[in-house]
Amino acid sequence: MRIRSKPWAKEELNSCYFFEKEPEKYKENWKEKFNNNNPIHIELGCGKGIFVAKIAKAHPEINFIAIDIKMDILGVAKRNIEKLFDKKIVSNVVLVQKNIEQINDIISGNDNIERIYINFCNPWPRGKHQKRRLTHTRLLLKYKQFLKSGVEIYFKTDDEDLYNSSFRYFKAADYKIIRYTNDLHRDNIFTENFTTEHEEMYTKEGIKIKAIIAKV
């Protein structure tokens, strides 16, 4: 996602109590960071943080690690989370800047991650770039290094080709497809659906939202 440069983002994030500057320090210890034993869910490519803000506010009993590669966008996410929490302490979200390619540097099997959300990841339509898709088999195998059997990935996209290819990626990485739909707003396969920034944008354009739940 292209956004205008946010010269304030780095400084603001570095003084934000729910942004973690050194996430590697917490590998195997995320429970310590959250200071409780609540389940931990992670969002890969959180963008402007609209989804994590909504779900974390609705579920204070779950901890969320929201990861994006770009500081500028994380700065916007920080402000969106603060806005929705409206002066309440944000105790169940940690924002992290990391390339998902290196996710195994920050999360281990001992962190007992209980769910992954992948919302509207970049579709990388060109053949040689497709391996960068966050649902590509190559990355699904990296997530499997820390996911216990039975953990689910909740995936949403607007992109037809990414949706269709992801069935193949999940199967090749030996995940089991549990539920899927090519129209999430008609057949909600999730118990609750919290919309993301991209989901709202594509829905306004009349594009159907596709979704898959896959299990390790």
- Interface residues toward ligand SAM, by CB under 6 A: 1, 45-47, 67-70, 73, 99-101, 119-122, 196-199
Residue 56 burial class via C-beta count within 10 angstroms: exposed 0-12, middle 13-18, buried 19 and up:
buried
Q: Which is nearer to ligand SAM, 129 or 168 (CB)?
A: 129
CB of 120 to ligand SAM, least distance (A): 3
Q: Which is nearer to ligand SAM, 73 or 147 (CB)?
A: 73
Distance CA 57, CA 93 (A): 9
CB of 7 to ligand SAM, least distance (A): 18
Q: Which is nearer to ligand SAM, 70 or 210 (CB)?
A: 70
Q: Which is nearer to ligand SAM, 101 or 187 (CB)?
A: 101
CB of 116 to ligand SAM, least distance (A): 12
Neighbour order of strands in the sheet with 176-181: 19-20, 93-97, 63-68, 40-44, 113-119, 152-157, 210-215, 176-181
Those residues whose C-beta lies under 8 Å from the C-beta of residue 169, and which sit 6 or more positions away, are 133, 135, 136, 137, 140
Helix (H) or strand (E) holding 181: strand 176-181
First-to-final CA distance of the chain: 29
CB of 58 to ligand SAM, least distance (A): 17
DSSP strands (E only) in 120-172: 152-157
CB of 197 to ligand SAM, least distance (A): 4
Q: Which is nearer to ligand SAM, 36 or 104 (CB)?
A: 104
What is the sign, positive or negative, of the torsion defined by CA atoms of 174, 175, 178, 180? negative
Contact 176, 215 (CB under 8 A): yes
CB of 64 to ligand SAM, least distance (A): 13
Q: Which is nearer to ligand SAM, 73 or 81 (CB)?
A: 73
